[in-house]
């Protein structure tokens, strides 16, 4: 393009001059012709931290269903943790954990119940779930268990849901004649609601029985998926209309030592054959919510899946914690790398391959013959950028590029927004021409406000950025509003920032080891932080073209932040106006660039006291308020103190 031709285009683009706001020294800003920005900008990052998966999004109600808890997970745990051996009604017998002949070698522990005298009520076990099971009157709960009779006489079982005082809410009886492992199921329909129910299994006849994989699943899961998700939690994510979901971590991915990496193949197939393991966040992963379920959920809510696989190195804090450090990064030995690379390639075949391919057939057998259309794959998470990392990353990256050039690889540049790993990671990513790299930072609100220009100067001819984890250090409104201001800068730089996701997503009451988080929950309810509302307001109001200069403001004023995007599918023009001040500010808006503006626009405002937050007791303290306003070619908006306003304007096309 010649210089003069470019100038003509530029001039044609600069359509209107907007007059700037009241209190500031205002500068006239030209409205740009609009630049294309990422269509995948705002999505979600899900990690099993704070009991987000087991005991959270994954709808299973039984805790330690496969008797695989161990002191490796937590020093005081063992395979019988969260189970109680019970002998009501003058019964006696014994229970013990065995491993000699399991349901599947991947799932080695099971229990043997020896019923010497069944008494009035039987010999059995009780499981309180994750802090008590919430069961609803009239809803169906599917009990399933694997059993193997160890004598010639079939054992009779009574399975029930009971309150802490022993009131039976639902009960079913069946016998277990098979001398081989067999799956038995029964439906339990509670007569009344309880938030502290237990599952009780009583053997009511004399005999000896092996039991494993005791599951209680609500029939009502999100979109009624088998082995599915808790509906209210899943719906909270669906409502955000995320463009993508990154999973399964975080630090969970590269793991506490090589043996603890998240290996995707361990998380698919029948649940009784999945390999459970310690969760790096101090508890246990059943892998019940595994790769199939993650991909299915993404598809169900229209989000692109973004699986992250280890870069063949473990977490540099392995053997310790992210706070105190540990034994250091360990790397998969070179002689095992070709198998590991194959594992990465197999994932892409599993996700995208035809049913005639080896891994496509496995996906089809799991109930999904159509490909999942995987576009992105993350390699590594916050890894220390060592020669071992670089060598292995390159091997994986080259193999993926060669076999699947259409899949975008996302690299990693350490845990901080600057520093050694950040610089080395970037240098290496540039050297390899990695298409996108994953930046992470957790900072105070002031940091976000003073870094609104961070991406303005990023080179557009180098790797793009996925801001995979960020949050300001609390869940008060002022934190959320600082994030909102920052998100306007992500939109402005949406030509180099391809994706962004807040972290972490979920935190369970009494099991939160990381704060801030986006959504807090217990077994029956959840509440949204102001940060959730900011994320949601941006996420459901994404555009693919960015316009400069539509809202007038002093360029140097970092207490206000604005952006304007257009969604070319709907034609809607969307303004985001952020005021971090403790008084309101008038902003002037010029829509001269847009034709056919509808005079009535939607206005959503999140505002309130800077230190206000939501809680289980006061979940509605800070919520967005929706109204409509009149707009015209030139109009003003008064942004309340500490607020995010989103104005969505329809245009005729």
- Which CB sits closer to ligand AHR, 184 or 514? 514
> Which of 204, 277 has the CB closer to ligand AHR?
277
Q: How far is the CB of 6 from ligand AHR (least distance, A)?
A: 42
Sequence-ordered strand ranges (E) for 191-260: 194-203, 207-218, 244-247
| Contact status, residue 302 vs residue 240, Cβ threshold 8 Å | no
In the complex, least distance from residue 262 CB atom to ligand AHR, rounded to whole angstroms: 11
Both tokens assigned to 54: 């087991």
CB of 51 vs ligand AHR, minimal distance in Å: 14
By residue count, the chain amounts to 653
CB of 160 to ligand AHR, least distance (A): 39
CB of 415 to ligand AHR, least distance (A): 5
Q: State how far the Cα of 73 lies from the Cα of 214, in Å rounded to an integer.
A: 20
Pick from 237, 267, 240, 242: which is nearest to 252 by CA?
267
C-alpha to C-alpha distance for 210 and 251, rounded to whole angstroms:
36
Q: Pick the closer one to ligand AHR by CB: 122 or 415.
A: 415
Give the span between the Cα atoms of 46 and 603, in whole angstroms. 29
> How many whole angstroms separate alpha carbon 55 and alpha carbon 522?
9
Report helix angle 530-539 to 477-492, nearest 10: 20
How far apart are CB 217 and ligand AHR at their closest, in Å?
28
* Alpha helices for 494-620 (secondary structure H): 530-539
Judge whether 382 counts as a catalytic residue: yes
Site of interaction with ligand AHR (CB under 6 A): 47, 49, 249-251, 322, 381-382, 415, 440, 469, 503-504, 514
Report the chain's C-alpha Rg in angstroms: 27
Cβ proximity to ligand AHR: between 411 and 504 the closer is 504
CB of 189 to ligand AHR, least distance (A): 39
Between 34 and 380, CB nearer to ligand AHR: 380
Decide: 479 and 449 in contact? Cβ < 8 Å.
no
Shorter beta-carbon distance to ligand AHR: residue 47 or 390: 47
Question: Do residues 89 and 299 make contact, with C-beta atoms less than 8 angstroms apart?
Answer: no
Candidates 60, 382, 388, 491; catalytic one: 382
Question: What do you get for the CA distance between the two ends of the chain, in Å?
Answer: 30
What residue ranges in 352-397 does DSSP mark as E strands? 376-379
Query: Coil, strand or helix: which one is 408?
Result: strand
Q: How far is CA 555 from the centre of its chain?
A: 35
By three-state DSSP, how is residue 259 classified? helix
Closest contact distance (angstroms) between CB of 520 and ligand AHR is: 15
CA neighbor of 538 nearest in space, from 486, 479, 478: 486
Closer by beta carbon to ligand AHR, 211 or else 480? 480
Measure Cα distances from 376 to 190, 202, 432, 628 in Å. Answer: 43, 48, 17, 38
Nearest alpha-carbon partner for 110 in 174, 142, 64: 64
Gap between the Cα atoms of 160 and 187, Å rounded:
10
CB atoms near residue 594 (< 10 Å): 20
- Dist. CA 488–CA 543, nearest whole Å: 12
Name the strand (E) or helix (H) holding 12.
helix 3-13
- Residue 3, SS3 per DSSP: helix
Task: Compute the CA torsion angle 295, 298, 302, 303 (nearest 10 deg).
Answer: -110
**Shortest distance, position 108 Cβ to ligand AHR, whole Å:** 28
Minimum distance of ligand AHR from residue 503's CB (angstroms): 4
Collapsing DSSP to helix, strand or coil, 319 comes out as coil
Minimal distance in Å, beta carbon 443 to ligand AHR?
Answer: 13
Euclidean distance between CA atoms 188 and 126, whole angstroms: 15
Nearer to ligand AHR, 27 or 515 (CB): 515
Q: For every residue of 437-462, which 3-state class applies, written as one string?
A: EEEEEEECHHHHHHCCCHHHHCCCCC
Which helix H or strand E contains 133, and what residues bound it? Answer: strand 133-135
Residue placing its CB nearer to ligand AHR in the complex, 91 or 316:
316
CA distance 160 to 172: 6
Residue sitting closest to ligand AHR (CB): 250
Element housing 254 (H / E): helix 251-254
Residue 619 DSSP code: T
Q: How far is the CB of 226 from ligand AHR (least distance, A)?
A: 29
Q: 322-343 burial, b for 16+ CB within 10 Å, e for fewer?
A: eeeebeebbbbeeeebeebbeb
Nearer to ligand AHR, 421 or 469 (CB): 469
> Based on CB atoms, which residue is closest to ligand AHR, 415 or 425?
415
Closest to ligand AHR by CB, 458 or 514? 514
- For residues 256 and 57, the answer to whether their CB atoms sit within 8 Å is no
Active site residues: 382
């Amino acid at each position: 393009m010649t210089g003069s031709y470019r100038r003509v285009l530029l001039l044609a683009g600069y359509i209107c001059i907007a007059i700037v706001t009241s209190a500031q020294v205002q500068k006239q800003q030209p409205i740009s012709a609009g630049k294309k920005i990422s269509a995948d900008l705002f999505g979600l990052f899900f990690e099993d931290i704070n009991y987000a998966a087991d005991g959270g999004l994954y709808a299973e109600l039984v805790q330690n269903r496969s008797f695989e808890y161990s002191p490796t997970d937590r020093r005081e745990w063992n395979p019988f943790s969260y189970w109680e051996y019970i002998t009501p009604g003058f019964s006696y017998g014994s229970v013990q954990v065995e491993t000699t002949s399991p349901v599947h070698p991947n799932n080695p522990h099971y229990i043997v119940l020896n019923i010497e005298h069944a008494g009035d009520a039987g010999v059995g076990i009780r499981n309180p779930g994750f802090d008590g099971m919430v069961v609803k009157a009239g809803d169906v709960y599917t009990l399933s268990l694997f059993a193997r009779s160890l004598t010639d006489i079939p054992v009779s079982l009574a399975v029930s849901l009971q309150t802490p005082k022993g009131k039976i809410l639902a009960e079913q009886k069946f016998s277990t004649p098979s001398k081989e492992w067999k799956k038995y199921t029964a439906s339990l329909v509670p007569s009344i609601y309880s938030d502290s129910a237990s599952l009780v299994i009583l053997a009511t006849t004399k005999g000896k029985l092996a039991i494993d994989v005791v599951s209680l699943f609500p029939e009502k899961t999100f979109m009624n998926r088998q082995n599915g998700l808790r509906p209210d939690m899943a719906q909270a994510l669906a409502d955000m209309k995320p463009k993508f979901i990154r999973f399964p971590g975080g630090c969970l991915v590269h793991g506490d030592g090589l043996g603890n990496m998240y290996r995707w193949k361990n998380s698919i197939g029948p649940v009784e054959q999945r390999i459970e393991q310690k969760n790096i966040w101090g508890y246990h992963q059943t892998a019940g919510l595994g790769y199939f379920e993650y991909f299915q959920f993404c598809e169900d809510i229209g989000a692109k899946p973004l699986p992250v696989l280890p870069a063949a190195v473990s977490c540099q804090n392995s053997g310790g914690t992210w706070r105190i450090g540990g034994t250091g990064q360990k790397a998969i030995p070179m002689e095992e790398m070709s198998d590991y690379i194959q594992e990465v390639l197999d994932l892409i075949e599993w996700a995208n391959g035809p049913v005639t391919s080896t891994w496509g057939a496995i996906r089809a057998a799991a109930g999904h013959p159509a490909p999942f259309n995987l576009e992105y794959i993350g390699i590594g998470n916050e890894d220390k950028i060592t020669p071992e990392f670089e060598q292995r990353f390159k091997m994986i990256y080259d193999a993926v590029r060669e076999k699947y050039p259409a899949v975008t690889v996302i690299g990693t540049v350490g845990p901080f927004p600057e520093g050694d790993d950040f610089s080395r990671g970037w240098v290496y990513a540039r050297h390899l021409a990695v298409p996108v790299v994953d930046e992470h930072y957790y900072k105070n609100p002031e940091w976000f406000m003073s870094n609104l220009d961070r991406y303005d100067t990023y080179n557009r001819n180098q790797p793009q950025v996925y801001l995979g984890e960020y949050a300001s250090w609390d869940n008060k409104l002022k934190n959320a509003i600082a994030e909102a201001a920052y998100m306007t800068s992500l939109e402005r730089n949406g030509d180099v920032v391809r994706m962004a996701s807040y972290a972490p997503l979920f935190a369970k009451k009494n099991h939160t080891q990381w704060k801030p988080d986006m959504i807090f929950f217990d077994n029956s309810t959840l509440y949204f932080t102001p940060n959730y509302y900011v994320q949601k307001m941006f996420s459901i109001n994404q555009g693919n073209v960015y316009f400069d200069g539509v809202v007038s403001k002093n360029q140097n004023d970092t207490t206000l932040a604005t952006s304007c995007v257009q969604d070319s599918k709907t034609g809607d023009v969307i303004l985001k106006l952020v005021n971090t001040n403790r008084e309101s500010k008038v902003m002037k808006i010029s829509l001269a660039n847009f034709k056919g503006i509808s005079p009535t626009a939607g206005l959503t405002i999140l505002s309130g006291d800077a230190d206000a937050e939501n809680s289980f007791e006061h979940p509605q303290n800070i919520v967005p308020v929706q109204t409509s306003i009149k707009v015209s070619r030139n109009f003003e908006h008064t942004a309340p103190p500490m607020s995010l306003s989103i104005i969505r304007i329809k245009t005729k096309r």
